[in-house]
Structure formats: C-alpha cells, structure tokens
Amino acid sequence: MTIPFFSQPPVGSYIAGEWFAGKKKFLVRNPADDSTLAQLADANEQQALHAVNAATEALFAWSALPAATRAAILEVWHDLILSNQDELALLLTLEQGKPLKEAKTEIAYGASYIKWFAAEAIRLYGDTIPAAASNKAILVLRQPVGVVAAITPWNFPNAMITRKAAAALAAGCTFVVKPAAETPLSALALATLAQQAGIPSGVFNVVVGTDAKAIGEVLTANQQIQKFSFTGSTAVGKKLLAQCAASVKRVTMELGGNAPFIVFDDADLDAAVSGLIASKFRNAGQTCVSANRVFVHNSVSKQFSTKLLEAVVDLKLAPGSEPDSQIGPLISDSAVVRVQQLVNAAIEDGACLLCGGRADVAGRRFYQPTILADTDMSMAVCQQEIFGPVVPLISFDNEEEVLALANDTDAGLAAYFYSRDIGRVFRVARQLQFGMLGINEGIVSNAAAPFGGIKQSGFGREGSKYGLDDYTDLKYMALGGLD
Ligand code: ADP
C-alpha cells in the first residue's frame, strides 16, 4: 500500500506524542473505487481516556507559555502544512473523494485558520472597568477554558479540525479530536506535522476509531474536559449536547443547514448561476452550507433554469484524483441511496426532472448533477439537508413570500441571495434567520469571518475575532484597598 504524505504507513491514533498501534484494525477506503488506503488501529474508549489524560497533563505548561511562543509554534505548523499542500491534498482526495483542486483549497483554507489564530493569540486582550470607588479597580482576564475535546465530520477532513484546534491551542487550551472514521488519515497527517512543528506532546491528540459512540461518551462526559466542540449532523449533535449537560461543559455546535438560495428579479443571473454552482456542487453538495433550496423569481425562472442547465451539463464527474474532475463520488453507498430516495420522492410528488436523477457511468457513487423544477416546501428534498448534487427549484412572486419560505426551516446556518437593489439587500438581510449570508456571493467561508449558525444549526462561532471567545473564560478580579 503506498499512501501519499506518509513516509511510513500510519498505524493509528496520536496520543501523548506517540502513535498507538493496537491489535484491532479498521480499513480506510477510497470512496471512488473502494480500494483500501490504510489499515489503522481501532481506538476505543481507553485510548480516548488516555488522550484526555495526556491533554490534562500538558495543559499547565502549554497555557503558561507566552502567547507569542504559542503563536510562533502555530506559525511553524501552518508553514509545514502549506509546504506539504500537494501531498496532503492528494491524501485528502483519496480518503474523502473531492476533486484535487478542492482538496488543495481545503488544505490552504484549513491552514489559514492556524495563521489567523496564531495572530489572534497575541491579541487576547482583557479589560479594565471603572470601579465604584477610587480605591478599587476591576480587571478582566481572558484565560484558556482548559482541555478541549472535538468530534469532526468527513466532509472537510482537514479544515474542520484546524478551525477548532487552532483556536484552542492559540488560547492556551490542549486538544483531543476524534475525526470521522471515514477520513482519519488527514487528521493523522496534521498530527505528524504538529509533532514536527514542535507542538508539545499531549497538546494535540488525535483518536481514530470506529466506535464513535463509546469514544464520544468519554469526550462528552469526562470531567477533565471543559469544552466540547462538534461539527456534524443535527441528530448526533443533539445527542452529544445532552450528554455534555451532565458535566455542564461549554459547547460549540456546528450542525446541519438547509440553505435557501434566492434569485430576485433584479439579480445578475450569470453571477447567480456561478454562485449557485460554487455553493451547490462543491464537494458534490456534501457541505453544511450548500444551497439546499433554490428560489427563483417567476419573471426570471425560465431564463435562470436554462442558464443553469447549460452550466451543469459541462460538469465533469470523475475520481477526485483525476486532474479534470469537478465532481467526485459521494462518501458511501448509503449516501447515494438517500439522495436517490429524495429525488424519486420529489418526482413522485410532482417535481419535474430537468437533468440528472441517477448515478453516473463514472461509477455507482458518482451522482449526476440534478435539477428538479416545480418543487415546493412540502417535499422532503426541500425539508431535509440533501448532501448531494441536487438543485430543487422553487418559483416565487414577491419578497415577503420568499422570506417566509426561506425562513420556514429549523436550520439557520447559511443563506444566499442575489439582488442589485441596495434597499432590498438590507431588507432581506435583516429578515433572513440564518447565521451567515452570501449576498451576491456563493462562498461564505473565510478565517477572518465568524462561521456558525442559529436555530437548530447550533451555536458558537469559528474563525474571526470572535473565534477565541469559545475557548476562553473571563476572570473578573475585584481589587480593593488601593489607597
Ligand atoms: P455526517 O452526516 O457528517 O456523517 P455525523 O453527525 O454522523 O455526520 O458524524 C459527524 C461525526 O460524529 C463523525 O466523527 C462521527 O463519527 C461522529 N458520530 C456519529 N455518531 C456519534 C455518536 N453517537 N457519538 C459520538 N460521535 C458520533
């Protein structure tokens, strides 16, 4: 088995600066062709506990380092990731499926959070507050919350880890992550580079294993852990949130979305089509901020769907490692079955299939870009997060109507709309009940901006000047006797 990036085949979890090689193994497969990429030791709750203990032991020394020292180490980690960008991208593509070009972008995007938080680490300002008397003072310190545990998904195997780890480490916290069992290799590659960068043993730990429930129980229940951060499905997030309640952990939840994408009658239609292609077909639609319901004003709906069809037929389905691939495989057979069921049900309920609608000749996991016209909010394809390359088109007549339809969901992660009317831009932006808005933009993610949702899409923000808040506690000091 040759595998990109690793000079020796990886053996398993990275805990307390060491590689765990247990007897029980699990396979990592390429979703494009099911070939085996690696065989890793299958960690369980014992290794999870070992990692939590290691992170607890490492906490004092790491948090006591000057912020500038932590920042310098993070910078080295960032630079090492970028100097290995090509190999890391190929590894990511092989285990996850996305086109190589997107994988390269993800590596750079993931690294950008490390750079961002290295720079934020040295600006972790506290406050002084005017006191009630002249012989008193009020000071506020921002201190690391402590040991942080995280569980991350397979759709962004690199960036979903760095986004959390960089903030945690910058604040002075130590970190244990359980990546998805589908994509553990990118996480282990990050650990290899963390070690090379001089991140001390126990500060960054990666537990890879298939028993998500058992590992998750340790990471949500253990009292040494002060903060838990999750990115994944809403259903699993709700369970983990409940599990965290017993020990009153601070929690960040980045859960599922159901993004509306609204095209008003005054929109630049070509820009809206390219924005939709970027939002919808990136990672074959397997992102939580993917456009999920596309609302187009009646007066431009025909024109828009014609332009969209023209753009979509050119998209090339192929294994992500092939240079011209634009859409790779879905992550698993069950993912394909789910998407197919949503499409079939929509057609049965009266939607009109404009293109796609089935797996492609490229392979059974390669789902064709699919456009469904005449869909409505009663259909499962509009109510559920599709997580596949399927565009449901819904026509609307006016702003009020489309706002009501767009907000008619429990999810509140991302929303997009296209309009050139400045009044409408502000009216609509104020009323959309979502944490992130792409306005004449199909891509919202950026390390400088706060990523996160409202409603059942979760809480907490990753990236931006707000990103350290979730990893720091405020400590208020009341000083008296100063006269
Ligand atoms: P997705 O739809 O992206 O697979 P999931 O929520 O199922 O979303 O998975 C996201 C992460 O949560 C993965 O690392 C997965 O292993 C983990 N996970 C799934 N179920 C549980 C559980 N019951 N307890 C803890 N972690 C879980």
For residue 99, the Cα-to-chain-centroid distance in whole angstroms is 17
How many A from CA of 32 to the centre of ligand 1? 21
User: What pLDDT score was predicted for residue 149?
Assistant: 99
Rounded Cα distance, 5 and 90, in Å = 8
> Mean pLDDT over residues 451-468, rounded?
98
Q: Give the rounded percent of residues in the chain with a pLDDT score beyond 90.
A: 99
> Mean pLDDT over residues 472-477, rounded?
98
> Mean pLDDT over residues 62-86, rounded?
98
Q: What angle do CA 424, 430, 435 make, to 5 degrees?
A: 125
| Residues 265 and 428 sit within 8 Å (Cβ to Cβ) | no
User: What pLDDT score was predicted for residue 258?
Assistant: 98
**Residue 217 known to be catalytic:** no
pLDDT at 244 over 90: yes
Q: Which of 254, 385, 399, 462 is catalytic?
A: 254
| Residues 258 and 383 sit within 8 Å (Cβ to Cβ) | yes
Rounded Cα distance, 431 and 38, in Å = 48
How many A from CA of 404 to the centre of ligand 1? 31
Query: Smallest Cα–Cα separation from 437: which of 422, 420, 452?
Result: 452
pLDDT at 482 over 70: yes
Query: Smallest Cα–Cα separation from 365: which of 391, 345, 339?
Result: 339
List pLDDT tens digits, range 303-328: 999 999 999 998 999 999 999 999 99
Rounded Cα distance, 325 and 319, in Å = 6
Closest ligand 1 atom to 179 CA: 14
Using pLDDT thresholds of 50, 70 and 90, give the confidence band for residue 1: low
pLDDT at 204 over 70: yes
The set of protein residues with a Cβ atom below 6 angstroms from ligand 1 is 151-155, 178, 180-181, 212-213, 216, 232-233, 236, 239-240
Closest ligand 1 atom to 151 CA: 14
User: What pLDDT score was predicted for residue 314?
Assistant: 86
| Residues 189 and 91 sit within 8 Å (Cβ to Cβ) | yes
Closest ligand 1 atom to 213 CA: 24
Rounded Cα distance, 116 and 111, in Å = 9
**Residue 254 known to be catalytic:** yes
Which amino acid is residue 373, in one-letter code?
A: A
List pLDDT tens digits, range 94-138: 999 999 999 999 999 999 999 999 999 999 999 999 999 999 999
CB-hemisphere CA count at 13 Å for 405? Answer: 25
pLDDT at 394 over 80: yes
List pLDDT tens digits, range 248-292: 999 999 999 999 999 999 999 999 999 999 999 999 999 999 999
Q: Which of 45, 288, 382, 462 is catalytic?
A: 288
pLDDT at 147 over 90: yes
